[in-house]
Structure 1
Amino acid sequence: MNHYFSEKPEIKSEKKTIKYTIQNKKFEFITDNGVFSKSKVDFGTDLMLNEFLKKNKGLEAKKIKILDIGCGYGVVSVILKSFYPEISITLSDVNERALELSEENLKKYGINDYHIIKSDAFEKITEKFDVILSNPPIRAGKDIIFKIYSEAYEHLNENGEFYCVIQTKHGAKSTQKKLMEIFKNCDTVTIDGGYRIFLSKK
């Protein structure tokens, strides 16, 4: 069965371009069958990005390390590198088609300084980061999602931040409880359209 978290999607490739605007900047992304939210940038990712940009207005000149875990076709990384050119960005996903699209989308915007890792969650990731952002794969099940949260903690530098987005009806309360258990803190950054953005600090 094909999921967007399949390693090699079997569904036939059919690339297309979608439009996306954030903070008055216009973007276009190449997407395809077999990747998450292929028809438009999903509401949760959009909400997380907008909240991150609001909270990090002075980040433009900082050389911090950010991990985009489960990067899909690269929306988070393209947006963050466009707003904060000095950051070091690492993208990871288990889906090979998603990783190829991420590279295409990064290069489309002239972004060449990035690291891409094919990894099932944190399996192949050894570095530590200042910020990790995640729109976790709900359909993969709670055990996998909770493993992402605990391993995110292990892969953060001291004072590092973990942002995640989750639909209220898809287990926001259990996510909040788990993040409190792991990080000993969990701020609800915003609630909008049935989604919640959580922020935990190491």
Structure 2
Amino acid sequence: MTSGADHYFSSRPRAASRPGRVVLALDDVDREVVLRTDAGTFSPGGIDPGTRFLLDDGARPAPGPTTLVDVGCGYGPVTLALALRAPEATVWAVDVNARARELTRANADAAGVGARVRVAAPEDVPADLVVDGIWSNPPIRVGKAALHDLLATWLARRAPDAAAHLVVARNLGADSLARWLGEQGHTVTRRGSRRGYRLLDVAGPGDPG
């Protein structure tokens, strides 16, 4: 993250461009994908430990022609993992950061999945979009109120039996976030913990956990 008011969740990062590349390897996909990164995006020097935990131990997308979303996509590691693991799925990649969106679009095209990836700013997501699964390493540092609003918006877009799969650092409030989600009527299951991160599966009120 850059200093001052210029964060990875800024809509137009002011940090000077410093292009980089990281390798995305998945245990169930027989290929490695090189992702372009840049300054002013989340974890440009490498896939961060929380995202890596979500990719390694988090829920896998169901087969079939589903609609999935990566909320806070950054330069696209989770988006590409979903598209590669679910070859019939349409994957929405949503981020406020224009530089991150450009990278995700380029990375999806380079990986050959661009036709199934929809990259969008939050305000450009169709109001009637319904998703069959949410994956996110949410931007905790936007502040509690903004985070709660973000999650409430996306949880309301789930299909009846859909779940959200989140990774949150314990020292950034994973347990208090889980309690808040429970207070909103959601069923929260801790899938796993590793190196200070929590994997949370969130089912809606009345949905199976």
- Assess same fold via TM > 0.5: yes
| Cα distance in structure 2, aligned partners of 1:56 and 1:34 | 29
| Cα distance in structure 2, aligned partners of 1:102 and 1:192 | 27
Give the CA deviation at 1:27. 2.2
| Cα distance in structure 1, aligned partners of 2:165 and 2:90 | 17
- 2:33 aligned residue (3, 6, 27): 27
> How many residues matched?
196
CA contact (8 A) 2:10 2:96 kept: yes
Deviations 1:41-85 (A, max 9, x none): 011111112223xx447x34x111101111100111111111211
Structure showing the higher strand proportion among its residues: 1
Give every structure 1 segment of 4 or more consecutive aligned residues whose post-TM-superposition deviation is greater than 4 Å.
none
| Paired-residue identity, % | 27
- Secondary structure in 2 aligned to 1:33? coil
- 2:7 aligned residue (3, 6, 10): 3
Give the CA deviation at 1:158. 0.4
Partner of 2:193: 191
- Secondary structure in 2 aligned to 1:3? coil
Give the CA deviation at 1:22. 2.3
Give unpaired runs (5+ residues) of structure 1. Answer: none
Q: What TM-score does the superposition give when structure 2 sets the normalisation length?
A: 0.88
1:43 aligned onto 2:49: yes
Partner of 1:137: 139
Give unpaired runs (5+ residues) of structure 2. Answer: 205-209
| Cα distance in structure 2, aligned partners of 1:83 and 1:178 | 31
Deviations 1:125-180 (A, max 9, x none): 42110101111112111111111221122111101111111101111111110111
The one-letter code sitting in structure 2 at the alignment partner of 1:12 is A
- Secondary structure in 1 aligned to 2:161? strand
Q: What TM-score does the superposition give when structure 1 sets the normalisation length?
A: 0.91
- 1:181 aligned residue (167, 177, 183): 183
Q: How does 1:48-197 map to 2 (within 5 A)?
A: 48-52=54-58, 55-56=59-60, 59-60=62-63, 62-111=64-113, 112-119=115-122, 124-126=125-127, 127-197=129-199
The one-letter code sitting in structure 1 at the alignment partner of 2:118 is H
CA contact (8 A) 1:68 1:77 kept: yes
